[in-house]
Amino acid sequence: MPTTDKTREILAAALKVFARYGFKKTTMEDVAAEAGMTKSNIYFYVAGKRELYEHAIRNALIQWRDSVAEAISEKEDAVEKFRVMASMSFEYLSHQQDLRSILIMDPGIFTLSHAEDRFYEINQGAMLLIKDILLQGISEGRFYEVDVEHTTEFLFSIYIMFLIKTYVKSEGSSTFRMYEEGTALILRGLCRKDT
Amino acid sequence: MPTTDKTREILAAALKVFARYGFKKTTMEDVAAEAGMTKSNIYFYVAGKRELYEHAIRNALIQWRDSVAEAISEKEDAVEKFRVMASMSFEYLSHQQDLRSILIMDPGIFTLSHAEDRFYEINQGAMLLIKDILLQGISEGRFYEVDVEHTTEFLFSIYIMFLIKTYVKSEGSSTFRMYEEGTALILRGLCRKDT
DNA sequence: TATTTGAACAATTGAGTTATTTGTTCAAAT
DNA sequence: ATTTGAACAAATAACTCAATTGTTCAAATA
């Protein structure tokens, strides 16, 4: 299954239809109609319904991660990078209606368990963004010399937790205040001195 | 339904049987047999199967919260209280086999959503423990003047997240290291100066 | 050759039925 | 005030059957 243009069209169509009907209620004909072809032709590009679904989500998640990575790379300072990462990676979803709908219908996409994580490799990449910022901050003497591996996992877990609270469970707007207060608290715990 | 001795016996029997078979597979006759009476007599004390189940869990959760509260009250210092609360409330479950089994079979008991929380009042009490420690630490000038409400919710959410990761999802022992590293980081973010 | 299609096939699902189990009630007994 | 056995009602499990839908593939098309 090469990532050709046609494949991308199918993935986009699939994301839209899955967002509207959910995995179970979506038929391959729905996807085919949205993509402007017959359902049998879909099988020329993808292996099956479940694979199509996971592939469409995977695609969206990778775009998310990459746009955060790009935003981070525009900053020099480790503290600034941390702030951009925290806000950007959290708010990104509010602009992605389709992915959000899918998340609500399929809460298992975000899990607190590594074993259950269907998108582990992608999340590994996201954790690498955190880890690099920690390493930079430590080597520049701005952060305490924390246990980088465990702190990275800790921060990533909190991030996932907030995504679930905000976009899956749809808690009130107080979640945003909590997120700000929490990241400020943690950044204070990381930094050696206040300037 | 008065909380008489017989009621407590029934709740204890119920917790044990529900822990072994889960809610669905447990029959009222199983509970009755464990409690040494006939199933019709159970209805003299409890309103129904679902109520019995929730009541048994509620009971166990309240004991948990109260024993943490007692441990905290034995410390004077806000920082010490924080440390005791963090470790005690987290490790308590490792000694409660029945409650742990129930938690695994019924993951909805610990939720990241207030709306879905069947034990909200009990958790409100637990959050009050956090809040009081924050207030004490702030008034004594040891903690920064954080937003107490949001920080309390933030800390409690992290706590619930770790309970889920550790006891429901059964992640590896690295979760304990994460918890330690995380609480140390947060405590550093709370405290005005290192001594 | 690379794509696309319609028709056929196989697997899954949903509705409907029945028998059995189990939650709940209650009058009578202790 | 408690406890019980018998009866009833509700939920569940096992099964069937029809319809839907995922998947394959030989033939058509570009």
Task: Please give, rounded to a whole number of angstroms, the shortest distance from the CA of A178 to a CA of chain B.
Answer: 5
Examine the pLDDT at B194 and tell me if it is beyond 60: no
Distance CA A130, CA B162 (A): 20
Q: Is the dihedral of CA A108, B152, B156, A182 positive or negative?
A: positive
Q: Measured in angstroms, what separates residue B47's CA from nucleotide C25's C1'?
A: 12
Do the beta carbons of residue A149 and residue A156 sit within 8 Å? no
Place of tokens 């490792």: B94
Model confidence pLDDT, tens digit, residues B68-125? 999 999 999 999 999 999 999 999 999 999 999 999 999 999 999 999 999 999 999 9
Q: Which superfamily does CATH assign the domain made up of A59-190 to?
A: Tetracycline Repressor, domain 2 (1.10.357.10)
Distance CA A132, CA A24 (A): 39
Interface contact B144-A188, CB threshold 8 A: yes
Give B3's contacts (C-beta < 8 A, 6+ positions apart): none
B131 in Cβ contact with B114 (< 8 Å): no
Evaluate if the CB of A28 falls below 7 Å from strand D: yes
Mention every residue, 6+ apart, whose C-beta is less than 8 A from residue B19.
Answer: B97, B98, B99, B101, B102
Domain ranges of chain A: 59-190
Is any atom of nucleic acid chain D found less than 7 Å from the CB of residue B157? Answer: no
A-chain residues within 8 Å CB-CB of B113? 165, 169, 171
Answer whether A165 sits within 8 Å of B157, measured CB to CB: yes
- Tokens linked to B183: 């609480």
- DSSP class of A119: T
Residue of A nearest to B116 (CA): A169
DSSP H helical ranges for chain B: 5-25, 28-35, 39-45, 49-73, 78-91, 97-105, 120-139, 148-163, 174-190
Residue B1 pLDDT greater than 50, yes or no: no
Q: How confident is the model at residue B2 (pLDDT cuts 50, 70, 90)?
A: very low
Q: How many CB pairs under 8 A join A and B?
A: 89
Report d(CA B99, CA A50) in Å as an integer. Answer: 36
Mark yes or no for CB contact B169/A113 under 8 Å: yes
Each residue's pLDDT tens digit in chain A (195 positions)? 346 789 999 999 999 999 999 999 999 999 999 999 999 999 999 999 999 999 999 999 999 999 999 999 999 999 999 999 999 999 999 999 999 999 999 999 999 999 999 999 999 999 999 999 999 999 999 999 999 999 999 999 999 999 999 999 999 889 999 999 999 999 999 999 755
Q: Which pair of tokens denotes residue B114?
A: 């207030």
Q: What is the pLDDT of residue A5?
A: 85
d(CA A86, CA B192): 23
For residues A184 and A178, give the distance between their C-alpha atoms in angstroms, rounded to a whole number. 10
CB–CB of A85/A91 below 8 Å?
no
Instruction: Tell me which residue in B114, B158, B164 faces A158 most closely, judged by beta carbons.
Output: B158
Q: Check if residue A192 sits with its Cβ under 7 angstroms from strand D.
A: no
* Summary mean pLDDT of chain B: 95
- Identify the pLDDT of residue A65: 98
The pLDDT assigned to A2 comes to 41
Per-residue model confidence (pLDDT) at position A194: 54
Give the homologous superfamily in CATH for domain B5-190. Tetracycline Repressor, domain 2 (1.10.357.10)
Q: What is the pLDDT of residue B24?
A: 96
List CB contacts of A33: < 8 A, sequence separation 6 or more. Answer: none
Q: Is the CB of A40 under 7 A from strand D?
A: yes
pLDDT at position A55? 97
Judge: B177–A150 Cβ closer than 8 Å, yes or no: yes
CA distance B44 to B40: 7
Answer whether B151 touches A (CB < 8 Å). Answer: yes
How far the first Cα of chain B sits from its last, in Å, is 53
Predicted pLDDT of residue B14: 97
Tokens encoding A93: 């979803």
Specify the higher pLDDT residue, A4 or B16: B16
User: Residue B3: is its pLDDT beyond 80?
Assistant: no
Phi-psi region of A46 (alpha: psi -120 to 50; beta: other; left: phi over 0): beta
**Pairwise CA distance, residues B9 & A176, whole Å:** 45
Q: In chain B, whose CA is at the least distance from the CA of A147?
A: B181
Q: Give the list of residues 6+ apart from residue B178 with CB closer than 8 angstroms, or none.
A: A150, A153, A154, A157, B162
Which nucleotide's C1' atom has the smallest distance to the CA of A42?
Answer: C4
